[in-house]
Amino acid sequence: MTFAMSQPPKATLAEQINTIGFRRWHEYELTRSFGYLGLGVLTLFVALAMLEGVFAAPVRLEGGIRLILSFVCLWITGWAWLRFMKILVVAESISRQVVCDQCKRYGLIRIIREDLKQEHLEHHMVCQCKKCDHIWQLAYTLQLPNARV
C-alpha cells in the first residue's frame, strides 16, 4: 500500500461538472463555500470566548493556553474565510458564463477541454451546449499557483 494509492487524485473541475452536471456542481460549491463561512464564524466566536478573561486568569499557564488556542482559532477563521471566497469566486465566475449564446439555456453544458495558461494562471474550458451543440469558451483565474478548488 503506497501513499499515492491511499490518496486518489482529486477530480478536475471539468470532470466534476461532467459527472454531476453544472447545476448540481454549482449548488454543491455554494453549499461547500457557506460551510467554510460557518466554520470561520464559529471559530471566531470560540477565539473571542477564549480571549475573554485571559488577562484576568488567576494562573499564568491557563492564560497562555487560552491565548494560544485563540490564535489557532483565529488562524482557522482566516483560512476558512479564504476558502469561502475562493470557492465562491470561481463558482460565480463560471456560472456567469454558462448561458448558451445560441439557445439561451442556462447551465446545460459538457466540458470538452480544460487548459491552464501558466503565465496568467488562467483556466480555460471549452464547453458545449447539451441541447444545441453550440461550442464556446469559459475562463476563470485563481490568484495562487497550483491552487485547487
User: Considering only 35-43, 66-74, 114-122, 127-135, which stretch makes contact with Zn ion by CB under 5 A?
Assistant: 127-135
User: Please, what is the angle between helix 22-51 and helix 13-20, to 10°?
Assistant: 120
Number of residues lying near Zn ion (CB under 5 A) = 7
Give the CA diameter of the chain: 72
At residue 97's C-alpha, the angle toward residues 94 and 101, to 5°, is 160
Q: Beta-carbon neighbour count of residue 83 at 10 Å?
A: 18
Residue with Cβ nearer Zn ion (39 or 126): 126
Q: Is 100 in the site for Zn ion (CB under 5 A)?
A: yes
Q: Which three cell numbers stand for residue 123?
A: 483556466
- Report the nearest approach of Zn ion to the CB of residue 127 (Å): 10
Q: Is 10 in the site for Zn ion (CB under 5 A)?
A: no
Contact residues for Zn ion, defined by CB under 5 A:
100, 102-103, 129, 131-132, 134
